Structure 1
């Protein structure tokens, strides 16, 4: 792939990692502040996903440099092939899982959404593990030859193709899943559009996954050394997944700390309090009105922290909410 060189890979990759680190940092900061010093499972998963992305990028850089040498270091390539398949499969799961866990937290009251989210997480995880096992079986290290390395590299690439296909399906589910819930909420049209944009940025994930899958498929016809293009677009795919997962919290960060928009919303049940109903599994047995106040959703996904009360908050809770200083 002549237009993608090692300097381009390193320059773009480092830039994306810096941006991803800033996005995850802003996400965790906003959610930590909103949840009074706590992070949720999807926040921790985003940190793990970022860690996988950084390590995978570094190992891929070593792989590109190694296959670029005139004399191949076969023992090193075998070790790298085993290491990278573990990292790639982990990166795929841990960069996309936070989005689905966020859906479970915000919209988990919908039974169908819970089932689809958990099924997606489970099936994707099983496919990634199966691909990992398949690659390890085809990469024996007892006798290292060029032919065995090419067999190992082909198995690695084939696993990448299957995992890439599953990744496209997962991104499509992430894109579609929140749409019915968002448009069922009793919000102003402008707020529905804003919330949709925050979540539907997942269409970028679909595009990135499709491009990465295309170059993985092209690499199947190679000899195990044409790796820079699929590696390059895989890095972009993982970055986009992290960015999409951070989108709601980044919008909150922008409003609260950059533009300093007021937190009170017209028609909110408790102006300036940051209170809103939580659409969670704890309320699955209670009937939630379509007219329930869902305020301050744009501030942060972690601002939806309180259980949705059946008759409103208690007097002490109301007083604490009203007296609490607006951020």
Structure 2
């Protein structure tokens, strides 16, 4: 197959590989974020993991199939075997790429009964449709002899094209549901401007996935009236659709990876190196975290309790004796007044005028009442 609608085989293979690699990277980062932050993986994490081998299988098998039964370099027997394999892995890839988004909706917006029910119904409906597609093609395309008749080849092609249109229409329907379903809840939240901008880009990527599924459906529909139409671009669009859906489902975890793990680490690594009056050099780093309990929609609408933790990590060249001497001087001076209350903590002569402990980690936590910001929080 030299070219397909202006795209060479090498270009199509490169695009398929690109989208699969991007999806793989997104899933790996998703797993890293969820494991480091939650210390556990959820059901949608495991589904995302299973989507990668299915996606790779579709890409590899479609490349081996070439131009299908119209490929002069492939035997009909081999093409029939590949058609059966592709008919199994494609529905599995479609469902496992889209399902994590619906499970994410259930976890985030599950308190909305209508949204939870709609998500479960969509999961069940798409699973049933894709399962029927897996069952329908093998009986018509499984070769029982190497010498395939023209009637067998025609029957396999007809069944495959019809099922492809059937599955393609379901994919478009599922993508539209996934895009529209959370809109009433999300746009009803009082979000920061940057959060709104992030949601806009997220929904635009959802539109891109819908566009890919529509293009795939168009090529599949054209193949019904034009049997010589190559399905290479249709499979490329399907892989693009699956990859984008998988990446979109990983976006919340990628946000956690940056805001809760990478960003605080970067801030901590930018510690200030200072010299106290005794000539000791001190590295000082500070990380700030906001920990909000799960299911914020379940809390009273007036306010939302959060815990802000400020962690300061110190490493110093001062000796233990220096630090103990400083503590003794502090006790002789008596308590300090902090917010009108006696405080026996660290000296108040500023972060650069005290003798730091040789090695230490200080953690200060205080409860904070913030206005309810919705599921996405602040």
Residue of structure 1 equivalent to 2:99: 97
Q: Structure 1 residues 322, 204: CA separation in 2 closer, same or farther (over 3 Å shift)? A: farther
Q: 2:295 aligns with which of 279, 282, 287?
A: 279
Decide whether the 8 Å contact of 2:12 with 2:236 is kept in 1. yes
Residue of structure 1 equivalent to 2:375: none
Residue of structure 2 equivalent to 1:229: 233
Residue of structure 1 equivalent to 2:300: 289
Counting helix residues as a fraction of each chain, which structure ranks higher?
A: 1
Q: Structure 1 residues 11, 46: CA separation in 2 closer, same or farther (over 3 Å shift)? A: same
Residue of structure 2 equivalent to 1:20: 23
Q: CA deviation at 1:184?
A: 3.2
1:244 aligns with 2:248: yes
Q: CA deviation at 1:198?
A: 3.4
TM-score by length of 1: 0.78
SS of the aligned residue for 1:277 comes to: coil
Q: Structure 1 residues 147, 181: CA separation in 2 closer, same or farther (over 3 Å shift)? A: same
Q: Greater Rg, structure 1 or structure 2?
A: 2
Q: Structure 1 residues 62, 294: CA separation in 2 closer, same or farther (over 3 Å shift)? A: farther
Counting strand residues as a fraction of each chain, which structure ranks higher?
A: 2
Unaligned runs of 5+ in 2: 269-286, 308-362, 367-378
Q: Structure 1 residues 161, 32: CA separation in 2 closer, same or farther (over 3 Å shift)? A: same
1:206 aligns with 2:210: yes
CA–CA distance in structure 1, aligned partners of residues 257 and 221 of structure 2: 39
SS of the aligned residue for 2:14 comes to: helix
Decide whether the 8 Å contact of 2:165 with 2:221 is kept in 1. yes
Residue of structure 2 equivalent to 1:311: none
Q: CA deviation at 1:20?
A: 1.3
Kindly report the root-mean-square deviation, in angstroms, between the aligned alpha carbons of the 2 structures. 3.0
- Equivalenced residue count is 287
Decide whether the 8 Å contact of 2:67 with 2:232 is kept in 1. no
SS of the aligned residue for 1:185 comes to: coil
Q: Structure 1 residues 229, 187: CA separation in 2 closer, same or farther (over 3 Å shift)? A: closer
Decide whether the 8 Å contact of 1:46 with 1:94 is kept in 2. yes
